[in-house]
Amino acid sequence: MNAMNMPNAAKPPLLETRELMIKFGGVTAANNVSMQIEAGRNLAIIGPNGAGKTTFLNICTGWLKPRSGKVFLEGEDITPLPPRKIVRRGVARAFQIPQLFTEHTALENLLISASAREGLRNPLQNLHNIRQRDEMMHLLDLVHCTDVADRVVVELSEGQRKLIDIAVALALKPRLLLMDEPTSGVASSQKHEVMEILVGALAEAGVTSVFVEHDMGIVARHADEVAVWNAGNVQLRGTPEEILEHPDVIRDVIGEEVA
Amino acid sequence: MSDISQHSTSRGAVKSGGMPSLRALLTLLAVLLLAAVPFIAPSMQLLINLALAKGIAVLGVTVLLRAGQVSFGHALFFGISAYAGAFLMASLPAADLILVLIAGVIGATLSGLLVGLFVVRYRGIFFGMLNLAFSMIFWSILEKFYHVTGGADGIRLPRPTVLGMALERAGFEAVIFYLSIALMVVLGWFTLRWFASPVGQVFQTIKTNETRLEYLGLSPKRVLLSGYLLSAILCGVGGSLMAMTQGVVTPEYVWWVRSAEMVFIAVLGGAGSVRGAFIGALIYEIVRVYASAYAGDIWQMLLGAFLLVIILFAPGGIMGIADGLMHRGGKSLTSTRENAE
């Protein structure tokens, strides 16, 4: 179906997948996944380990190519594109294990991101003197990391690295940010604080987000919408209230911990 | 492969820590001292000139070390540039020195682009060995196509004119010597600035995280190619100067030992250090010449042992030792001042 022919949709969804299929050996990690992600929402993806949540993010960002099916970004087929070309179209990614330049400082990671965004090429300009420095300092402030701006990434805590990783993605000024377990590795006492910071930063930047999460407290408090993944497909989708009280979710995803 | 570039300071170029003014002052003094060599130690002029030419080529290897890549075949660009100049002089005997240099740089740039497009797909040992393979292929061509290349005997590179003037040997040697110093300063300065620039900093992230690079919307291959081209050009400039200094180019210019020598000097001076490339080259040439004169066949063993000591006890190379001394000196100066206050 062409996005132009969609009923009641003058504008195609921000991201849409149609019948995505991918297998790793005998395991089907994406089994006919069709879903739409509308702009301006924070969508949480939950599900048991091995359900295909990260695989979905990897396909959407071009890291993995589906055996069949397609990914559309505002109606444009981005399935064959490499990650860098998808990034340039406004889709950024934050990772479960932060992907940072470990020999650079937190601020330099952001400055490099801004340089990539702006395509800075002047070989005689110092990275620290680029016009976007104030903007990056503001971004560090948004994620409450100004105090570690000049510290090398390897010296930072896991929680700080997570925030810097997300800030690096935000520095690209994306329309859509895909995050894989943004609060994993963060102390449980700080998870809500970190998530508050993140959601605030996303709202200020006007970024739509999709995040994989295992902590149902985080999902209940910070997601606008929840999609439940099971055996490589979307089993359920709805508001956090609807989903987290659904018997199937309580049995298959939440388990006895909450029940 | 152990990362011999791990001690390079990618951040150092952006925000040079320690005592930049003292470092700049010492650099200036060293350059002035070099410029005075023809007057205070004329017998050393040729030796220093060869070291400067090698130093510029080593700077090319240093660039790649900043991205965590070691090339064992960069003598290829050194040799191609030298042969480009020699062929130019053979077909255009009245060619000027600047033309010879430009021909060499063009040769190194084009070959750097061709080889680079292929080797930037690989990393680590494969990157290093593929570079070696390309250099050895070119070496074989130089050896076998002797009717064109002169074979093992090489090609003579007659003295080019300098801005239209035909100079005698001494005059020409002085011009080449000061041109080498000028190029050392300009290219060294440029490389330092490039390292600190957004494009240079992006290049250095190849060493730490290519996944993030891709997710910043950049192609790691293209980023590596940009630095590879710079490194090829630097090696080309070095090769061109060496050829004009020696007046003859031979396949030995691209022989694998020459490539290994460049890596050796880069590590000796301080892997990833711009100043280290030149200090390493100067020390290497001086040790090589005097050790081979006085220690006969064991000079390579002496150099090998020296490198072993550097890697084991001073992995930052000679520049690492110098920086350590400067920091210590700076600290004691500060504490002295604090005590005085």
Domains in chain A: ranges and CATH: 91-173 (3.40.50.300)
Q: Residue B2 falls within a domain, yes or no?
A: no
Residue B19's pLDDT is: 58
Single pTM value for the model = 0.89
Evaluate whether A128 touches A104 at the Cβ level (below 8 Å). no
Given pLDDT bands bounded at 50, 70 and 90, which one contains residue A5?
very low
Under-70 pLDDT residues of chain B: 1-20, 329-341
Chain A within 8 Å of B11 (Cβ-Cβ)?
Answer: yes
CATH label of the domain that carries residue B192: 1.10.3470
Angstrom distance (rounded) from CA A80 to CA A89: 13
Assigned domain for B186 exists: yes
Identify the domain containing residue B269 by its residue range. 10-327
Q: Do B216 and A121 touch (CB under 8 A)?
A: no
Q: Would you tell me how many other CB atoms lie within 10 Å of the CB of residue A154? A: 11
From CA A14, how far away is CA A225, in angstroms rounded? Answer: 15
- B204 interaction partners in chain A (CB closer than 8 Å): 103
Please provide the size of chain B in residues.
341
Q: Which of A103, A113, A127 sits opposite B216 (nearest CB)?
A: A113
pLDDT digits (tens, 9 = 90+) for A15-45: 999 999 999 988 889 999 999 999 999 999 9
Please report whether residue B218 resides in a domain: yes
Residue among B14, B199, B211 minimizing CB distance to A108 = B14
pLDDT value at residue A144: 87
Q: DSSP alpha helices (H): ranges in chain A? A: 53-60, 83-88, 106-118, 133-142, 158-170, 188-205, 216-222, 240-244, 247-249
* E strands in B155-293: 155-156, 248-249
Residue B99 CB-half CA count within 13 A: 17
User: Which residues in chain B have Cβ-Cβ distances shorter than 8 Å to A180?
Assistant: none
| pLDDT tens readout for residues A90-142 | 999 999 999 999 999 999 999 999 999 999 889 999 999 999 999 999 999 98
Residue of B nearest to A131 (CA): B198
User: Which has the higher per-residue pLDDT, A205 or B1?
Assistant: A205
For residue A85, list chain B residues with Cβ-Cβ distance below 8 A.
217
What pLDDT is recorded for position B144? 94
Chain B residues closer than 8 Å to A126 by CB: 14, 193, 196-197
Phi and psi torsions of B292, nearest 5°: -70, -30
**Average predicted confidence (pLDDT) for chain A:** 90
Report the share of chain A in percent with pLDDT over 90: 68
Exposure pattern of B56-65 as b/e (b: 16+ CB <10 Å)? bbbbbbbbbb
Q: Which amino acid is at B150?
A: G
**Do B202 and A128 count as a contact with CB atoms less than 8 A apart?**
no
State residue B303's pLDDT score.
80
Write down the pLDDT at residue A49. 87
Asked whether the beta carbons of residue A112 and residue B201 sit closer than 8 angstroms, the reply is yes
Yes or no, beta carbons of A99 and B215 under 8 Å apart: yes
8 Å CB contact of A124 and B193: yes
- Asked if B164 and B149 count as a contact pair (C-beta separation under 8 A), the reply is no
Q: Which of A126, A170, A180 is the mutation pick for testing B, counting most B CBs within 10 A?
A: A126
Nearest to B218 among A84, A99, A122 (CB): A84
* Residue keyed to tokens 């739509």: A208
pLDDT in tens, A180-193: 999 887 778 888 88
A164 vs B: CB within 8 A: no
In a domain, B48, yes or no: yes
| DSSP string over A208-258 | EEEEE---HHHHHHH-SEEEEEETTEEEEEE-HHHHHT-HHHIIIIITTTT
Residue B280 included in any domain: yes
Domain assignment present for B193: yes
Interface test with A, best of B8, B16, B213, B215 (most A CBs within 10 A): B215
| Residue B16 confidence (pLDDT) | 44
Average pLDDT value for residue range A145-173: 94
Measured between beta carbons, the chain B residues lying within 8 angstroms of A123 are 190, 193-194, 197, 199-200
Residue B3 lies in a domain: no
Contact at 8 Å (CB) between A19 and A34?
A: yes
A52-69 mean pLDDT: 95
User: Quick check: B265 and B281 in contact, CB under 8 A?
Assistant: yes
Question: Mean pLDDT across the stretch A211-216?
Answer: 92
Mean pLDDT across the stretch A159-187? Answer: 91
Q: Are B224 and B206 in contact (CB under 8 A)?
A: yes
Structure tokens at A217: 């407290």
Place of tokens 């006919």: A32
In a domain, B332, yes or no: no
Number of H helices, E strands in chain B: 16, 2
ipTM of the complex, rounded to two decimals? 0.90
Q: Which residue of B has its CA nearest to A89?
A: B217
Give me the number of domains chain B comprises. Answer: 1
> Taking the alpha carbons of B137, B142, B144, B147 in that order, is the dihedral positive or negative?
positive
How far is the C-alpha of A165 from the C-alpha of A181, rounded, in Å?
Answer: 12
